[in-house]
Structure 1
Amino acid sequence: MILFLTTKTSHLLEFFFWMLGSFLIGYIFSWFYFKNKYKSELNENSETITELRNEMQSTIRAKKTVERGGIEIKQPKELDFNKIGIATEKDKNDLTQIKGIGGFIETKLNSIGIYTYKQINNLTNEDIITITDLIQFFPGRIVRDNWKGQAKDLLNSKGK
């Protein structure tokens, strides 16, 4: 009977160790599998988090720049009509006679208060820059087409 119990117990112990061994082998393999699986996901997520953090910092930095006055606000320039002369719609000359001024540019010049050849003749370099900004026309076009000289010639021919 003792021999029977020992063999039965030894079989149970052997069975127990086989089960424990298989459990440990499964546990170790699953630990490595899930460790590597979640480690790669964690690396991907940390890269995504880093990218998002960089984008947020650049966005925040841009907002801070704007708040500190990073955008230049231009004040509208004004012409000194005391120097160039004041004219009204009644005094209007046909400005399209000047090469480089078409109907569209004439309308823009009229909208800022320039109606006559005399006003164009009296323009200074500073006034020309201001007019270029106000009518949003090609820079240097007024000088290149010599609007002042043409206006002077038209004034002289009109006066004769």
Structure 2
Amino acid sequence: MTFAPAPRPGSAGPPPPRPQRPLWHWLLLGGAGMALLLVALIVALILLWQILGRGDPETTLDDFYDSLQTSDCALFEETTTPEYRDATGLTSCDVFEQATSDMTGVDYEVTDRVNRFGYAIFYVTERYEDRGETIEVPLRYFVERSSGQWGLAGIEPVDENSPDLITGS
């Protein structure tokens, strides 16, 4: 005769439930996840602000001419580099306003633009009236990017008889 094995104590019925994690574990993991998402959002916003706030060097050139025509010293300082202001002697608002108070009727046309890493070169034909005669002056403007802002760094006349040092033509 065969006998069935004797039942083992505790083996009858379903297995005991697993112990659940305490609530503070879930709160800690959720808080860490939210902090990580917040940091990622802040980094994304900073990058977006940097990309959208880059500005345009041609807008800087337009603002420069506006500052000359309206004698707006704050706009002039915003659109030029300190080195340019030192080189031209327009180092204070009083000097700038005195130098630009008689300036009227200056018109300009951007004829070419060369982009380089960190700066742009604009070829401009400037027109103004002098004793009833229209004068055209070809100029080269150097606009550089510094500290996230575009600023006018230099102006030089273009000699049409000499080769262009920038483009080689």
Larger radius of gyration: 1
Q: TM-score, normalised by structure 2?
A: 0.29
Which structure: greater strand fraction? 2
Q: TM-score, normalised by structure 1?
A: 0.30
